[in-house]
Amino acid sequence: MYKEYSVIDAHCDTLLNVIGSNGIAGIGGRLDFFNRNEKSHIDLPKLLEGGVRCQFFALFVEDSELPRAKRQASRLLDEFDFLCERSKGSLFPLREVSDLDGAVRGRSVAALLSIEGAEALEGSLDNLGYFYDRGVRAMGLTWNRRNAFGRGVKAEGEDGLSPLGLELVEAMEHLGMIVDASHLSDRAFEDLSAVSKRPFIASHSNARALNPHPRNLTDGQIRRIAASGGVIGAVMVPDFVAANPPSGYLESFLDHIDHMVGIGGLEAVGIGSDFDGYADKGNHVLADASEFPLLARGLELRGYGEEAVLKILSGNWERLIRDILS
């Protein structure tokens, strides 16, 4: 019998499944969020079964929708609002710190809305207030590509954040929004680290020292996030974990957690699954959100005590949310 820990997961792409528009990890139609679906990593029954108390839901604009980026992000928000209305209290938006206190393990989930890549702003800081008013409380400055605010990790060039991107960081910090460094190029990361005055995060990234994927973080970047008071969400995407790990993906994922704790400290590491953001071909850390208790057990077997497991699974994210949103 596993001990029941609460979980805060800092990244998923499930809203794309809800609208039936997930080009990376689609399920072949629209997701019925309120009933168990074996093709989706996340639905409400799985979140409740896995002990997820707070789930970050990403608003991601796929390439085909970039000419209509704000409209597409707004469509995702509309669908999210409808889910909350239908849930009758089982799913509700996390807009301020007190909302987190309303989430009860196994009964309800607080949803923190995040924009993955600032394309939704359509190059204008004037749109930031619109998304904030609609409940968005976190944003990654870029996805893999380049946008008006900076260069993503897969975009060609040597530049980092643009002048507008530096202004965006300041504006987000002023509003009390969480700034997310996942998907930034190394130069853009350095620019963010240099100008940030508040803790910043990498919502879904692993350690480059263990797997030299450009989406993973260098030890220096891990230290920078930790020094800011931020948190890194260890990510479950198989390509970011390992190539054909001999002991399985869960053990390799735990290796990343061990490494990042060793570099940045226990308070700097959390979970950012990226559920529904990758095609699951059977090579997975966890099959879906209902299996978070297996991760808790894995941490215990690695020698983490109860307090440490609680920090990694939820406590560090809760501290950061309370800090930034207060």
User: Is a pLDDT exceeding 90 seen at residue 283?
Assistant: no
Average pLDDT, the chain: 95
Q: Between 322 and 244, where is the model more confident?
A: 322
Q: State pTM to two decimals.
A: 0.97
Q: Between 2 and 323, where is the model more confident?
A: 323
The per-residue pLDDT for range 120-138, each reduced to its tens digit, is 999 999 999 999 999 999 9
CB atoms within 10 A of CB 224: 22
User: Is a pLDDT exceeding 60 seen at residue 1?
Assistant: no
Average pLDDT over residues 137-159: 97
CB 21 within 8 A of CB 62: yes
Average pLDDT over residues 298-304: 97
Q: How confident is the model at residue 2 (pLDDT cuts 50, 70, 90)?
A: low
pLDDT number for residue 25: 66
Average pLDDT over residues 243-260: 94
Q: Between 29 and 190, where is the model more confident?
A: 190
Average pLDDT over residues 299-322: 98
Q: Which two tokens stand for residue 48?
A: 């409740």
7-325 maps to CATH 1.10.1740.10: no
pLDDT number for residue 3: 79
pLDDT number for residue 180: 98
User: Is a pLDDT exceeding 80 seen at residue 159?
Assistant: yes
pLDDT number for residue 246: 82
Burial zone of 200 (CB within 10 Å; 0-12 exposed, 13-18 middle, 19+ buried)? buried
The per-residue pLDDT for range 57-106, each reduced to its tens digit, is 999 999 999 999 999 999 999 999 999 999 999 999 999 999 999 999 99
Q: Which two tokens stand for residue 40?
A: 């989706």
Q: How confident is the model at residue 111 (pLDDT cuts 50, 70, 90)?
A: very high
pLDDT number for residue 73: 98
